[in-house]
Structure 1
């Protein structure tokens, strides 16, 4: 599976990670069962996974506050992506 991963064009062209760098490797680690390494590779994997699972269930089962739950999960995922990216860039450039 790792031999078929797509390279990050942002990293190849500009030499800087993008907001999604590490997601493919994190998914590969999840499929191998290495949950802690998947989190360290891409911390937003779990909020994104929760969002996808909720969206899948919500497609078939409607919840009373589904819009609020979706927005909350999206905000959590986006904040996790941004915060982890800022921390990663701070570590790299210091």
Structure 2
């Protein structure tokens, strides 16, 4: 059983300055809620909330792991994973702002 529920975590999340002052979502809107959903085991909901979340997690884990264990093609792996993740974030953001 989880210590916190997603609803409990909402009070600890940082507000989006772009949304607050300019009135529209930024490319990072949804990351915190998506991580909270992953924490709760809601993996599909986390992807729907922020499609780039799994690429970001994979990239972060690989970079941290690469600090301790050096991989032969780590630069290429990081570059390709980062490019795919950034493309996913940009495409999902464009879809989000054009459909809402």
TM-score bracket, normalised by the shorter chain, equals over 0.9
Q: What RMSD in Å do the two structures reach over aligned CA positions?
A: 0.6
Question: Which 4+ residue blocks in structure 1 deviate beyond 4 angstroms?
Answer: none
Shift of 1:34: 0.3
Aligned residues: 92
TM-score, L = length of structure 2: 0.90
1:47 paired residue number: 55
Shift of 1:63: 0.8
Q: Give the unaligned 5+ runs of structure 1.
A: none
2:70 paired residue number: 62
* Aligned counterpart in structure 2 of residue 37 of structure 1, from 40, 45, 55: 45
Shift of 1:51: 0.1
Say if 2:18 is the partner of 1:10: yes
TM-score, L = length of structure 1: 0.95
